[in-house]
Amino acid sequence: MSSNKNISDTIKRVIAKEELSDESDVREATAPYQAEFPYERDEEAQVTRREFCNFLGLTSAALFVGTAGFAAKAAFDARESLSPPVARIGGAETLAPNTSLNFSYPTERDSAILIRTADGAYHAYGQKCTHLSCPVYYSRDHQRLECPCHEGAFDAATGAVLYGPPPRALDAIEVEMRDGQVWAIGRTTSSPKDRG
Ligand code: FES
């Protein structure tokens, strides 16, 4: 309350002092006001620097969060694309021993072949011959996979090359029984050392 009165008195004095003209007059008249409301230029600079630092900090945090978000999404997408699909092979459960069934895996464009060997076990492979990509078929007579293009042949139980020009085994598709149904759960690309 008293400070308001002092300010008011100061302002009245400044207005009433008609001879007020130069710096010393102004300083003298406003000295009490300055005492009531001190102004520190250095402190103002500090506040400005603090605000600037806060701004930089917030901006950096926002950039970090954004970058981390993109990185996390990229990692998630990469992991999704690396994990093989799990797909039921329709009709496999009624497949008779020593017969085969064509299906697609891991995508609709990838032809594959499921074989139920004479012992009742299931085996699946990519259908492309590893020589020049002709489709292989299952020979019931010989109980093996054969390629009609250059007389290559593969073991039905392992996919290994039995004879002919194929340089490596067929790509294997991992199958699993779930509640009486056959599921494809992964595919492995063979290498030349897997020729057989
Ligand atoms: S493409 Fe199969 S043996 Fe040549």
pTM of the model: 0.61
Q: Does ligand 1 lie within 6 Å of residue 162's CB atom? A: no
pLDDT of amino acid 21: 55
Instruction: List the one residue out of 180, 178, 151 whose CA is nearest residue 166.
Output: 151
Q: Helix H segments across 83-195? A: none
Could you give the angle at the alpha carbon of 51 between the alpha carbons of 46 and 57, nearest 5°? 125
**pLDDT score at 192:** 81
Q: Is the CB of 127 under 6 A from ligand 1?
A: no
Measured from the Cα of 164, ligand 1's closest atom is 3
> How far, in Å, is the centroid of ligand 1 from the Cα of 159?
14
CA 190 → CA 114, 157, 168, 171, 182, distances in Å?
17, 15, 7, 5, 22
- Going by alpha carbons, the residue nearest to atom 1 of ligand 1 is 132
State the amino acid at position 62 in one-letter form.
A
* Ligand 1: nearest atom to the Cα of 132: 1
Per residue in 139-192, pLDDT (tens digit) is 999 999 999 999 999 999 999 999 999 999 999 999 999 999 999 999 999 888
127, 131, 154, 171, best to mutate for ligand 1 pocket (most atoms within 8 Å of CB):
131
Decide whether any atom of ligand 1 lies within 6 Å of the 13 Cβ: no
**pLDDT tens string 7-39:** 566 556 655 655 455 656 656 665 665 677 665
Q: How far is CA 160 from CA 9, 130, 131, 169, 194, in A?
A: 105, 11, 13, 4, 7
CA of 105 to the centre of ligand 1 (A): 21
Task: Decide: 114 in ligand 1 pocket, CB within 6 A.
Answer: no
Encoded tokens for 195: 């020729």
Q: Which residues pair with 181 in a beta bridge?
A: 178
Give distance in angstroms: CA of 14 to centre of ligand 1.
106
User: CB neighbours of 175 closer than 8 A, spacing ≥ 6?
Assistant: 89, 114, 122, 123, 124, 182, 183, 184, 185
Give SS3 for 177. Answer: strand
- CA 91 – ligand 1 centroid, Å: 28
Residue with token string 């901006």: 59
133's CB contacts (< 8 A; 6+ apart) are: none
pLDDT of residue 24: 63
Q: Strand, coil or helix: what is 188? A: strand
- Digit-coded pLDDT (tens) for 87-124: 999 999 999 999 999 999 999 999 999 999 999 999 99
Please tell me which residue, 137 or 28, carries the higher pLDDT value: 137
In this structure, are residues 158 and 196 in contact, taking their beta carbons and an 8 Å threshold?
yes
Q: Closest Cα partner for 105 from 119, 122, 126? A: 126
